[in-house]
Amino acid sequence: MAIERRSGFPEMLSLREAMDRLLGDAFITPRFAFEAGGERIAMDMQDSPEALIFRASLPGAKPEDVSVEVSNGQLTVKADAKQEREEKQEGYVLREIRRGALRRTLPLPSDVDTSKAECKLDNGILTLTLPKAKSAQPARIQVKS
């Protein structure tokens, strides 16, 4: 019979592992800060019994620069804010507003009916309403005796 040594604290990290994590997190951009294809779009999602309602912050975007796709149970919103002219003043360039590609992909919590979807862009807020498919909506079933 072999003797096996067991630690009473298997979930605790060694000091070396803890320091590696600390230093790694400090110098590496968090994975949620950026997505492939551009910066991440700030979004709200509301789940009602009839529909999923999404609101996305797209300041300065025009409707022709925005793309909304529903595919394989995921919602993808893309926007391309065009670069504006630079303001030069006494050798300085001031450019604080971010421009370029924005992208966000979210999994949909239920099946939706894209044929009845509504999408509008108003004052930099994109509002997308995706009605839930009949199969995804709650149904009351009568109990018989």
The per-residue pLDDT for 36 is: 46
CB 101 within 8 A of CB 78: yes
Per-residue pLDDT of the chain (145 residues; tens, 9 = 90+): 667 666 655 556 677 777 777 776 555 544 444 444 456 788 999 999 899 999 999 888 889 989 999 998 999 999 987 655 556 656 667 656 666 788 899 999 989 999 999 999 999 899 999 999 888 777 777 888 7
Q: Is the pTM here over 0.75, yes or no?
A: no
8 belongs to a structural domain = no
Q: Give the model's pLDDT for residue 126.
A: 94
Do the domain assignments include residue 20? no
Determine, yes or no, domain membership for 108: yes
**What is the extent of the structural domain holding 82?**
40-134
- Dihedral over alpha carbons 99, 101, 102, 106 (to 10 degrees): -170
Does 59 reside within a domain? yes
Residues 136 and 51: their CA atoms lie apart, in Å, by 10
User: How many domains is the chain built from?
Assistant: 1
Q: Does residue 35 belong to any structural domain of this protein?
A: no
Helix (H) or strand (E) holding 68: strand 66-71
In a domain, 21, yes or no: no
CATH code, domain carrying 127? 2.60.40.790
Q: Does residue 145 lie in a domain region?
A: no
Q: Which helix (H) or strand (E) holds 27?
A: helix 15-27
- Whether residue 23 lies inside any domain: the answer is no
Write down the pLDDT at residue 142.
81
